[in-house]
């Protein structure tokens, strides 16, 4: 009997369904084997975590929801208990270096009994294993940290042996005892010390690798590693019961499949933000720096923090107050929990106590009213590319980059004033490209992790008239999601770019367009292979609490199938034309087929649909032409060389601990990079013009100014004028205008970091102020920058000579060429767009 029913279906990575159901807590007839828990181990620091008042009920509800709604319809049994146990240990100690085999022997009686401890007759789980194991982990982590601190104080590391260290210990046995663990810890510390030493003694000057170790190197390395290990320990010692519960229950959910998850309230909020492309807060990107300080890394343009003119990058948040309530000290607090304090409902006030970057001793109170923060940099965007057609003419291509399939979740419009939908945004970009008379469109789904199933269907429907888009199978049978509006906004030549990081909804769209023969698929050998549907269940209807949010559960409820019948699960979508990509050969990068407990590939009957057949008749010729180009194209020669190097690394899963050998490897790689850069500098500028298009300018007539990609700088910056002044407290360093920012960005300069993207070796604290240029991006640029050190601002003007070498990746450039060929083959057949 199925106890849980849902209202709507959503897709994996991100789309939500709010379902209302009940859980039967009646006796199931299972025989419960008594398990006598060991006493909780007391961590070395004297702290001990225990379950919260609702945690046992949350765990039970999670188990019941999984049993009743998971795609496999599998009862929680001893075999799943083993996966549950092993997964939880791996989540805490993925490198298998902290737990000892004696710990595993001590906990072994839990391994086949977690099912009985979780799915109980009284409706509350026994969470003793979760907290006992975690507290033991803290004890081992403390021993690990103490051992490393002792080595750093007394050891003088030598790197003249032939020792090597294993890169990946995920499948290695746990150390047999403390002595074996200390040997592993010592070897790992030696490796980290060597990496830091190499970073300090190796530099590149005038294109040459220089090896010279600073006198203060050892002290600096010891300080760096000390802070790193202390920070790593702090991450876990700051965990509270909700963090332990999430890790433990994800061991349970992942025993069913790798894409089911339990979200505690903090992570549930992050999930919704990802899907809505918006949040309500102050508009500041935060990080946690050494010492446990919450630091402002970036102000989001137009947000409350930016508008206030009272906050700056590198300011520290030391306390947070809600409205008129007293402030809460957040120094040393886990970053996610600080973020939760700062976020809140639109229109409410939050007061921040700030330690300014210009005066750490000062304490300023900044009151901000929370507002909607739009994350528009993660939305769809486009380029228009003019390039030669090989016959003396020009081909105009549209290029659309789609980072994810986003849609509102968590209520009407996701709480966003103007909800964003992938299909709506892409339609705007397509219509703009059509207005500019493009001959073909490239859809870039590389690195797209997926998102909304509904939006994947609507996105696909933009390019077909009507018909099925994807099939899905659940316990209730097979269903088909179709395009029924018969409206096709673009019927011209189409290409889809994919890689190993294209997953879930992006695989659905690519597979449908491929099955229809509507688009040629170009890229890696195949996509990620995530072909499952998840549904999100809020737990508050089943865990009655007036004060705490019990979180949400994401459950795999369906499996995807192409309209041709094969599953996208496990195998993914194969490219029509495979282009060389070293990432395609990396065995250390996960895909669905490498994940634990992934569901297998299978087939169902094909759906009924009518093919366009716009690809197969031309595929052999397109593949041949592409192979001829890439065989001699120097960038693809480099890519094939990297593929061979990747294959060699795949056979040797270790790295050297010999300093001279490591330096020689760096010399070899630097010489190779230098030779490649020199060869690229001899090339003439690429014969193409690129225009950047965003959602904000799709309704503006005409095209913006061309975008420039400066490539390498011909000469270093030369300072011409310098002035110095001390800023007034809270007074911003002179600001650059919007026009200055746009110009600087066209030159490849990131005004938020003060670094040129290509070759300008700026100081870390370089703050650009203004930028002007003659022939922007073509010859020279005059850049005014401000450097902040020791409470003094130094303003300098530098003249920089540029080269207009487009910085476009070779995979995209070759896809452009494939599209030019494709358009030329389609033209005589009279099947080009009439729109």
Burial of 829 (0-12, 13-18, 19+ CB in 10 A): exposed
- Rounded Cα gap, residues 213 and 190, in angstroms: 17
Strands (E) across 518-673 are located at 520-523, 532-538, 552-561, 577-578, 654-656
Asked whether the beta carbons of 70 and 557 are under 8 A apart, the reply is yes
N- to C-terminal Cα separation, the chain: 53
Query: Is 504 annotated as catalytic?
Result: yes
Q: Are 44 and 139 in contact (CB under 8 A)?
A: yes
- Residue 403: both structure tokens together: 């980072």
Comparing CA positions, the residue from 557, 401, 472 lying closest to residue 16 is 557
CA neighbours closer than 13 Å in the CB half-sphere of residue 468: 20
Strand-pairing partners, residue 797, are: 721, 784
CA 27 to chain centre: 43
Per the rule left: phi > 0, alpha: psi between -120 and 50, beta: everything else, 437 is: left
Residue in 622, 391, 625 with CA at minimum distance from that of residue 519: 622
- CB proximity list for 326: less than 8 A, separation 6 or greater: none
Please report where in the chains the tokens 């298009």 appear, as a residue.
693
Does residue 647 have an active-site annotation? no
Rg (CA), the chain: 29
Q: 530 an active-site residue? A: yes
Which pair of structure tokens corresponds to residue 585?
Answer: 């050969």
Instruction: Give the residue among 634, 575, 632, 569 at the shortest CA–CA distance from 603.
Output: 569
CB neighbour list of residue 161: distance below 8 Å, 6 or more residues apart: 657, 658
744 CB burial (10 A radius; 0-12, 13-18, 19+) = buried
Residues 6+ apart with CB under 8 A from 629: 636, 814, 817
Q: What 3 state SS string does 385-447 have?
A: EEEECCCCCEEEEEEEECCCECCCCCCHHHHCCCCCCHHHHHHHHHHHHHHCCCCEEEEECCC
Name the 3-class secondary structure at 829.
Answer: helix
CA dist 609 and 193 (Å) reads 60
φ, ψ dihedrals at 531, nearest 5°: -115, 50
> What residues have CB less than 8 Å from 267, skipping those under 6 apart?
246, 551
Whole-angstrom distance, CA of residue 142 vs CA of residue 438: 62
Candidate list 81, 355, 461, 504, residue with the active-site label: 504
Q: Which DSSP letter does residue 355 get?
A: E
Q: Can you tell me the distance from the alpha carbon of 80 to that of 115, in angstroms, rounded to the nearest whole number?
A: 8
> Which position among 383, 530, 554, 559 bears the catalytic label?
530
**Do 309 and 372 touch, CB atoms closer than 8 A?**
no
Contact predicate 407/15, CB 8 Å: yes
Contact 570, 484 (CB under 8 A): no
* Cα-based torsion angle of the residue sequence 389, 400, 461, 537 in order, rounded to the nearest 10 degrees: 160
Q: Which two tokens stand for residue 597?
A: 């407990």
Structure tokens at 309: 């003119």
Report whether 326 contacts 341 (CB < 8 A). no
Interatomic CA distance for residues 763 and 637, integer angstroms? 34
Of 515, 581, 584, 740, which residue is the catalytic one?
A: 515
Helix axes 217-237, 128-154, angle to 10 degrees: 170
CA distance 165 to 653: 8
Catalytic site residues? 504, 515, 530
């Amino acid at each position: 009997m199925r106890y849980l029913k849902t209202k709507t279906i959503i897709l994996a990575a991100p789309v939500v369904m709010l379902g209302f159901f009940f859980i039967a807590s009646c006796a199931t007839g299972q025989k419960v084997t008594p398990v006598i828990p060991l006493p909780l181990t007391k961590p070395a620091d004297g702290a001990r975590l225990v379950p919260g008042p609702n945690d046992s009920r949350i765990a039970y509800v999670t188990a019941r929801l999984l049993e009743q709604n998971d795609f496999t319809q599998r009862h929680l049994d001893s075999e799943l208990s083993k996966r549950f146990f092993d997964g939880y240990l791996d989540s805490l100690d993925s490198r298998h270096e902290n737990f000892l085999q004696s710990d595993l022997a001590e906990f072994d009686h839990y391994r086949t009994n977690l099912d009985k401890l979780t799915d109980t007759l009284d409706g509350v789980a026994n969470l003793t294993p979760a907290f006992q194991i975690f507290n033991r982990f803290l004890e081992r982590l403390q021993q690990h940290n103490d051992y490393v601190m002792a080595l750093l104080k007394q050891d003088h590391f030598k790197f003249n042996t032939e020792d090597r260290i294993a890169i990946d210990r995920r499948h290695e046995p746990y150390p047999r005892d403390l002595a074996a663990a200390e040997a592993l810890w010592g070897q790992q510390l030696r490796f980290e010390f060597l990496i830091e030493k190499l970073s300090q003694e190796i530099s590149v000057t005038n294109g040459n690798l220089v090896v010279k170790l600073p006198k203060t190197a050892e002290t600096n390395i010891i300080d760096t590693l000390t802070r790193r290990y202390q920070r790593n320990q702090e991450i876990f010692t700051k965990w509270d019961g909700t963090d332990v519960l999430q890790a433990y229950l994800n061991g349970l959910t992942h025993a069913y499949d790798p894409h089911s998850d339990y979200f505690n309230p903090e992570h549930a909020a992050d999930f919704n933000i990802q899907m809505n492309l918006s949040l309500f807060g102050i508009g500041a990107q935060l990080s946690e720096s050494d010492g446990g300080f919450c630091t402002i890394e970036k102000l989001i343009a137009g947000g409350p923090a930016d508008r206030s003119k009272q906050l700056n990058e590198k300011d520290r948040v030391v306390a947070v107050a809600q409205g008129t309530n007293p402030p809460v000290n957040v120094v040393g607090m886990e970053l996610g929990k600080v973020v939760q304090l700062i976020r809140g409902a639109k229109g409410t006030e939050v007061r921040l106590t700030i330690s300014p970057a210009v005066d750490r001793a000062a304490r300023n109170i900044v009151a901000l009213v929370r507002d909607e923060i739009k994350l528009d940099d993660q939305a769809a965007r486009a380029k228009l590319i003019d390039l030669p057609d090989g016959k003396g003419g020009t081909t105009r291509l549209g290029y659309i980059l789609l980072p994810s399939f986003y849609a509102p979740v968590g209520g009407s419009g996701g709480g966003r004033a103007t909800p964003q939908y992938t299909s709506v945004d892409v339609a705007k970009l397509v219509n703009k490209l059509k207005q500019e008379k493009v001959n073909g469109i490239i859809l870039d789904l590389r690195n797209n992790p997926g998102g909304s199933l509904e939006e994947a269907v609507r996105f696909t429907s933009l390019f077909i008239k009507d018909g099925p888009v994807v099939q899905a199978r659940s316990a209730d049978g097979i269903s088909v999601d179709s395009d029924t509006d018969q409206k096709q906004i673009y019927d011209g030549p189409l290409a889809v770019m994919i890689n190993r990081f294209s997953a879930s909804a992006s695989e659905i769209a690519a597979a449908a367009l491929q099955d229809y023969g509507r688009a040629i698929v170009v890229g890696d050998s195949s996509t990620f292979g995530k072909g499952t549907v998840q549904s999100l269940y809020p737990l508050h209807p089943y865990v009655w609490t007036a004060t705490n949010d019990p979180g949400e559960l994401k459950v795999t409820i369906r499996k995807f199938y192409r309209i041709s019948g094969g599953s996208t699960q496990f195998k993914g979508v194969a490219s029509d034309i495979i282009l060389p990509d070293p990432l395609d050969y990396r065995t250390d990068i996960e895909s669905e087929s490498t994940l634990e407990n992934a569901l297998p590939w299978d087939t169902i009957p094909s759906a009924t649909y009518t093919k366009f057949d716009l690809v197969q008749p031309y595929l052999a010729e397109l593949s041949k032409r592409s192979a001829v180009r890439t065989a001699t194209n120097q960038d693809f020669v480099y890519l094939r060389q990297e593929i061979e190097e990747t294959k060699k690394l795949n056979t040797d899963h270790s790295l050297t601990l010999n300093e001279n050998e490591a330096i020689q490897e760096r010399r070899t790689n630097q010489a190779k990079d230098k030779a490649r850069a020199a060869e690229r500098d001899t090339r003439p500028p690429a014969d193409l013009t690129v225009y950047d298009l965003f959602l904000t300018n799709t309704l503006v007539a005409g095209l913006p100014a061309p975008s420039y990609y400066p490539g390498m700088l011909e000469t270093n910056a030369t300072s011409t004028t310098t002035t110095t002044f001390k800023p007034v407290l809270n007074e911003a360093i002179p600001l650059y205008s919007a026009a200055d920012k746009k110009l600087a960005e066209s030159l490849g300069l990131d005004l938020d970091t003060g670094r040129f993207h290509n070759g300008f070796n700026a100081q870390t604290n370089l703050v650009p102020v203004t930028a002007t240029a003659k022939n922007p991006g073509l010859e020279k640029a005059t850049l005014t920058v401000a450097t902040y050190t020791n409470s003094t601002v130094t303003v300098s003007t530098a003249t920089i000579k540029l080269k207009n070498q487009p910085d476009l990746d070779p995979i995209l450039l070759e896809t452009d060429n494939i599209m030019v060929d494709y358009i030329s083959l389609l033209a005589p057949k009279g099947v080009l767009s009439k729109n």
